[in-house]
């Protein structure tokens, strides 16, 4: 995809801007144990969350709905604990602020959970739009959340960069027609490019270098 004239930057949340996987992993391991399923590695759980399409809950087969409720009951007791900002993320956001660049979040996390975590970090007002999971709203890899974010920010999707670490992020970016940048923390460059990424970087430090060279 050709390099856009960047008029807005959208981000995935978990694994891209913040490390909030500890409560996800804890709740998932407890739920697997409750349903007498084998434990999974942290890396495997991260990859499931990055695939979208209900990849993780599909592990529970006919118990999918009950397992989701069980998982969320555990997760929601602890999900505001120990939220970590990933390396160089603050520098990326600060740079975009200096350029008066509109920013938004597009996450598969529930809407109120995403807003609560951003509030805890003092970041809620930093983003012009936050599109999370709501009943009746399609989730990544469907492009609808990206379209909603672009509408909120009043930008054309072709002028948007979307940065994420999951296959679902890159599939959504490709289907929406925006410029997808993949972070290769959970998936390889080959996997993210196959999912639709336009570029891949190892971390946000590399993303920052690219942004500085790209945004006037």
pTM: 0.91
Residue 80 CA to residue 114 CA, distance in Å, equals: 10
Q: What percent of the chain has pLDDT over 90?
A: 75
pLDDT exceeds cutoff 90 at 46? no
State the pLDDT at residue 78: 93
Per-residue pLDDT of 65-113, as tens digits, reads 898 899 899 989 999 998 899 999 999 999 999 999 999 999 999 999 9
Q: How far apart are CA 78 and CA 192, in angstroms?
A: 30
7-16, 43-52, 58-67, 81-90: least confident range: 43-52
* Residue pLDDT, tens place only, 113-129: 999 999 999 999 999 99
From edge to edge, which strands make up the β-sheet containing 179-183?
129-133, 103-110, 8-11, 160-164, 179-183, 199-201
Residue boundaries of the structural domains of the chain: 8-19+84-214, 21-78
CA distance 57 to 161: 29
Upper half-sphere CA count for residue 167 (Cβ side, 13 Å): 15
Check: CB of residue 23 under 8 Å from CB of residue 62. no
**Which band of pLDDT confidence, cut at 50, 70 and 90, is reported for residue 215?**
very high
Q: Answer whether CATH 3.40.50.1000 is correct for domain 8-19+84-214.
A: yes
* Nearest alpha carbon to residue 202 among 216, 184, 179: 184
């Amino acid at each position: 995809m050709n390099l856009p004239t960047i008029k807005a930057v959208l981000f995935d949340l978990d694994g891209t801007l913040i490390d909030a996987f500890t409560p996800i992993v804890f709740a998932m391991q407890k739920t697997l144990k409750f349903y007498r399923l084998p434990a999974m590695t942290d890396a495997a759980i991260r990859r499931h969350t990055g695939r979208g399409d209900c990849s993780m809950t599909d592990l529970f087969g006919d118990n999918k709905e009950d397992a989701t409720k069980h998982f969320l009951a555990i997760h929601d007791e602890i999900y505001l604990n120990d939220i970590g900002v990933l390396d160089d993320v603050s520098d990326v956001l600060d740079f975009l602020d200096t350029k008066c660049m509109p920013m938004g979040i597009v996450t598969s996390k529930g809407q109120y959970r995403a807003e609560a975590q951003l509030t805890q970090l003092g970041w809620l007002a930093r983003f012009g739009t936050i599109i999370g999971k709501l009943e009746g709203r399609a989730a990544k890899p469907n492009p609808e959340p990206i379209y909603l974010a672009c509408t909120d920010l009043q930008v054309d999707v072709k002028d948007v960069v979307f940065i994420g670490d999951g296959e679902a992020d890159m599939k959504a970016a490709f289907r929406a027609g925006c410029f997808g940048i993949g972070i290769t923390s959970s998936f390889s460059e080959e996997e993210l490019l196959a999912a639709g990424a336009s570029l891949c970087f190892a971390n946000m430090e590399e993303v920052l270098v690219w942004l500085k060279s790209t945004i006037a």
